Amino acid sequence: MSTYLSQVWLLLRNYVRGTRLQEMPKTTSLETEAVLPLGKSIKADKSVKFAQDNLQEYLYSPTLQKSLEKWTIPVNGLTSKIDNQTSGIVASGFCFKICDRQMHEEIYELLGNSALKPEIVHQLIELVVTNKKIRLELLFWRLEDFYRRWCQGEFIDGTPDNNLPQKTRLKLAAENIAIGLRQVDIYTGLNVLILLLELHRYAQERDELKQKITFYPSAQPDTDNFFTSQLLRIINYSDALEIGNFSSIVGQFLKGGNFQNAYLGDANLTGADFSGANLSFAYLGDANLTGVNFSGANLSGANLGDANLSGANLSGANLSRADLSSTNLSGANLSCANLSRADLNRADLSSTNLSRADVSHADLNRADLSSTNLSHADLSNAILFGANLSEANLRNTNLNHADLCRADLSGADLSHAILNGTNLSDTILFSTNLSNAILVAADLSYAKLNGAKLNNARLNGAMFLGADLSGVDLSRVILNEADLSGVILNEADLSGADLTDAILFGTDFSYANLNSANLSGSNLSGAILNGADLSHSDLSYAILGGADLSDANMEKMTWGKKQQWEDVRGLETAVNMPPALKEELGLN
């Protein structure tokens, strides 16, 4: 038992000396088992393990904090010189009490064993920013210098007597900690990257620091090279150990980061947190971005073509002029996002939330928007040629002057939507809800409207050339000055509709409900009205030449004093004709 207690004492003594606590041996030594009763051995208690881990985290942060403090102490007489430094590169003339070589060794010893846990990082940053002895800009500059060298492979490519990852690995092996050379190097570099990201995020929220501490994980863009590939190389290097290694270690610390012009094509960033980050003009083509958090991020001008963004959170993100062609955005959250002038050609947006998003002038040619929520979104001037919008929610959506030619809107909800001047020609609108929609001057030529609801819609000046509106609910619709020439409206409900001055040349109204409809001033030349319900309708000043009114219900219908009836057919079989009209036509 004394041997076991001595092991515990040795571990606690190491803590006091500032070294990291290593796990206690899982198996008991022979000497320990010798003093125990026969058949019994010491088993690790979960509560003891939990307390041990908490003790490790509690002691590790102050230990690392003391090292960070030492690394920022300059030699005497250089304080004023440092105060004038505002760039992110340490001037060659600066000298610190802990030289670069010693600092790099300490970084590997402190950070090369495992990935930093979020709770340790948050505790550490809190200790650092509240410690008045630590100069944050100096700490940032020195860590950034290490990070730059690490990215270039300076430490792992060092000679055997100068290879810091190898030296750290041997020290850990002496403490019975088995770890690979690449693991030591990757853990160290990624942990430094995490600290730099957290310092950057803290500094950017403070005016006195934001100019002094600006971090570019993929290197700062320059005029010679539009894209920077440093971060992609780090991701691939980290994932060489295990796919998704970078994302699982660093992913949650990427929020608010600076990634503009970064080349991240084909990168695996599943589940990463880029919320509030700057990714403007970044290249993310073919990247795996499943479940990534891009909320509030700047992705303007970014290339995300063919990327997988299924289930991603892009709420409030700026994607203006971004390339999202053939991108998988199924199930993503794009509410309140800015997608103006974005290229979404053939993108998969099925079951996506685009409520209140700005999609104006965007190219959604043949995109899949089935079952998508677009309520209150702005799709004005958008190109939706051949797009699939079946079962989509487009309530109160702005589709002014959008091109929906040959789009599929079957079963979609467009109630209260605004479609002024919209191109809906040859569009599938089976069972579509367009009630209370505004379609002034819209083009519905050859549209398939079977089973659609257009009640209370405003269709002033709309075009319906060759459209099939048979059985459609058009009650109380406003169609004044609309062109419905040759349109099929048999059995349609047009009760209370406003068709004043409409062009209805050759229109098929057979058995349609035109009860209380206003047809005054309309051109009904050659229209088919057989079996139609014209009760309480107003046909004053309408042109009826060649119209067919056989079997039509004309009860309490209004007509003009100078109405022309000479060429009207079927009047002799019309029912409930007002007595005054019968007398005028000599049909008594």
The Cα 178–Cα 169 span in angstroms is 8
Q: What is the DSSP code (8-state) at residue 253?
A: G
Angle at 148 between CA 290 and CA 304, to 5 degrees: 25
pLDDT at 537: 96
Task: Determine the pLDDT at residue 93.
Answer: 55
Cα–Cα distance for residue pair 87/188, rounded to 1 Å: 25
Mean pLDDT (whole number) for 447-473:
90
- SS3 of residue 69 by DSSP: helix
Look up residue 11 and give its two tokens: 């571990």
Count CB neighbours of 259 within 10 A: 24
For the cut 60, the answer to whether the pLDDT of residue 412 exceeds it is yes
| Least confident piece of the model among 17-26, 29-38, 187-196 | 29-38
Tens-digit pLDDT profile for residues 247-273: 999 999 999 999 999 999 999 999 999
Burial of 337 (0-12, 13-18, 19+ CB in 10 A): buried
Check residue 326 and give its pLDDT. 98
Q: Over the stretch 517-555, which tens digit does the pLDDT of each residue have?
A: 999 999 999 999 999 999 999 999 999 999 999 999 999
Spatial separation of the C-alpha atoms in residues 180 and 158, rounded to whole Å: 16
Q: What is d(CA 403, CA 386) in angstroms, rounded to the nearest whole number?
A: 9
**Cβ contacts of residue 418 below 8 Å, gap of 6+?**
397, 398, 399, 400, 437, 438
Please write the tens of the pLDDT for every residue from 277-288.
999 999 999 999
- At 471, the pLDDT band (50, 70, 90 cuts) reads confident
**What is the per-residue pLDDT for 41?**
35
- Please give the average per-residue pLDDT across 506-510, as a whole number: 94
Minimum mean pLDDT range among 67-71, 255-259, 509-513: 67-71
Q: What is the pTM of this model?
A: 0.83
Quote the CA–CA distance of 263 and 374 in Å, as a whole number: 31
User: CA-CA distance, 586 to 583, in Å (whole number)?
Assistant: 5
Average pLDDT, the chain: 88
Q: What percent of the chain has pLDDT over 90?
A: 76
The C-alpha angle with vertex 391 and arms to 390 and 395, in degrees rounded to 5, equals 110
Q: What angle do CA 56, 62, 64 make, to 5 degrees?
A: 90
Question: What confidence score (pLDDT) does residue 424 get?
Answer: 97
What pLDDT, on the 0 to 100 scale, is given for residue 529?
97
Contact 38, 48 (CB under 8 A): no
Using a pLDDT cut of 70, give the percent of the chain over it.
86
